[in-house]
Amino acid sequence: MKKKFNITLIIFAFIFVIDQVVKYGFVNFDWDVEGPIMSLQLAYNYGVAFSMFAFLAEYLKYIQLLILAGATIYLLKNKDVFNDYYIAIALIYAGGLSNILDRFTYGAVVDYFYWHYGFEFAIFNLADVIINLGVAIVIFIQIKKAREEKKQKELSS
C-alpha cells in the first residue's frame, strides 16, 4: 500500500508541476501558435467542460474543492478502491487540482489546445486530457473486472 501511495504522489507531482508550468508560460509569455489542424491559443474557461456552469464562476473552485474533499474521504474509508485505481486517482487528482489552482490564481481555468480542423472543438488543456485518461483507466479496469467476474461465474456453474 505504501509503495502505491508513493507512486501516486510521484505521478501527481510530476503532472501537476508540468501542467502548471505550461499554463504559466501561456499566461505570461504569449506562447500562442497558429497551426493548420490545432492551434495553441490562450483562453480562460470560467465554467467546467465546454464552459458549462460559467454562471457559477466565482463559486466553482469551492464546489470543486468540496467534491475533491468528499472523494478523499471516500478513498480513506475505502482503501481497496485506492488500491485498485491508484494510478487513475493520481491522474484525476493532478488534473483536477491543477485546474482548481488556476481558478484561485487566474480567476479561471487556463486552456490552450484549440482543435479547428474539420470541426471546431472546445479549447482544453493538458490537465483535461490527464483527467480523461484517468477516467478511461477506471472504465478499462471496471470492464476487465466485470469480464473476470463473469468468467468466474461461468466456471463455478
0.75 surpassed by pTM = yes
Mean pLDDT of 8-35: 97
Instruction: Give the number of domains in the chain.
Output: 1
The strand pair at 38-45 and 109-115 is best described as antiparallel
pLDDT on residue 83: 96
Question: What integer pLDDT is reported at residue 139 of this predicted model?
Answer: 98
Pick the residue with more confidence: 139 or 119?
139
Average pLDDT of every residue of the chain: 95
> Which residues are known to be catalytic?
111, 128
The pLDDT value given to residue 147? 96
Range of the domain at 77: 2-156
Alpha-carbon distance of 99 to 13, in angstroms, equals 14
Task: Inform me whether the pLDDT recorded for 50 exceeds 80.
Answer: no
Instruction: Check residue 1 and give its pLDDT.
Output: 78
Interval 86-115 mean pLDDT = 97
